[in-house]
């Protein structure tokens, strides 16, 4: 289960994920399979909490929570 994060933490994690994605976009030919796997795992860690937080916030706004 995802731990509770703040809006500021969600913003920071989203920014980190964007940077990682932009690096992958800029240097795809320089990455080997193991690096891509590691980057994918990193993105899961970075974005998982953000996605859970956004879903929870949306539910609150929709009056479902």
| Residue 34 placed within a domain | yes
Overall number of domains in the chain: 1
Q: How far apart are CA 38 and CA 28, in angstroms?
A: 14
2 located within any domain: no
**pLDDT of res. 27:** 85
Any domain includes 44? yes
Q: Is residue 36 situated within a structural domain?
A: yes
Asked if the structure places residue 43 within a domain, the reply is: yes
pLDDT of the residue at 3: 63
Q: What is the pLDDT of residue 1?
A: 40
Provide the residue range defining the domain that includes 12.
Answer: 7-61
Look at residue 19 and tell me if it is in a domain. yes
The tens-digit pLDDT sequence of the chain (65 residues) is: 446 889 999 999 999 999 999 999 988 889 899 999 999 999 999 999 999 999 999 999 998 75
Position 1 in a domain: no
In a domain, 40, yes or no: yes
């Amino acid at each position: 289960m995802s731990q509770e994060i703040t809006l500021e933490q969600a913003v920071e994690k989203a920014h980190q994920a964007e940077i990682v994605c932009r690096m992958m976009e800029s240097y795809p030919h320089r990455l080997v399979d193991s690096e891509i796997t590691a980057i994918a795992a990193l993105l899961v860690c970075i974005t998982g909490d953000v996605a859970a937080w956004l879903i929870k916030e949306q539910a609150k706004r929709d009056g479902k929570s």
